[in-house]
């Protein structure tokens, strides 16, 4: 996953300026998108009668060289009311609205049939620090 425009702004402000920043999130939510969510997450979020962003928790650890966070449990979405194909996932600081914090294109888009359940297994959402 890569961080969003909002996350980049907040991180750089925190590290290198004394500028005012947004409030630190205390809860995080995963959203599904049928196409590219755009840099701010404002496009292609799934619309389904049963759909809602799902709560997620993260665990931080140092990877090979840089720190990363991964989801610490499966993220399970409600059974689909209609068929859909999810191609991207995003992480937000709110269950509705809010700020997109990170986004990821799935290696393969996943098609879900009516009644099917989309699950993100524990450890699959990986947000890494960028660097060389």
Query: Per residue in 77-87, pLDDT tens?
Result: 999 999 999 99
Q: Strand, helix or coil at 14? A: helix
Confidence of residue 41 (pLDDT cuts 50, 70, 90): very high
Q: Give the integer Cα–Cα distance in Å for 21 and 11.
A: 9
pTM over 0.85: yes
Q: Give the integer Cα–Cα distance in Å for 76 and 55.
A: 9
Say what percent of the chain tops pLDDT 70.
97
Asked if pLDDT for residue 121 goes beyond 80, the answer is yes
């Amino acid at each position: 996953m890569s961080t969003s425009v909002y996350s980049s702004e907040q991180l750089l402000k925190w590290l290198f300026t004394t500028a005012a920043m947004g409030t630190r999130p205390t809860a995080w939510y995963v959203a599904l998108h049928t196409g590219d969510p755009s840099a701010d997450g404002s496009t292609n979020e799934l619309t389904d009668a049963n759909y809602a962003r799902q709560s997620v928790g993260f665990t931080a650890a140092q990877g090979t060289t840089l720190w990363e966070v991964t989801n610490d449990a499966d993220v399970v979405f409600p059974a689909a009311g209609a068929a859909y194909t999810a191609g991207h996932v995003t992480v937000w600081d709110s269950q509705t609205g809010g700020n997109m914090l990170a986004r990821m294109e799935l290696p393969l888009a996943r098609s879900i049939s009516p009644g099917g359940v989309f699950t993100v297994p524990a450890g699959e959402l990986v947000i890494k620090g960028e660097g060389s």
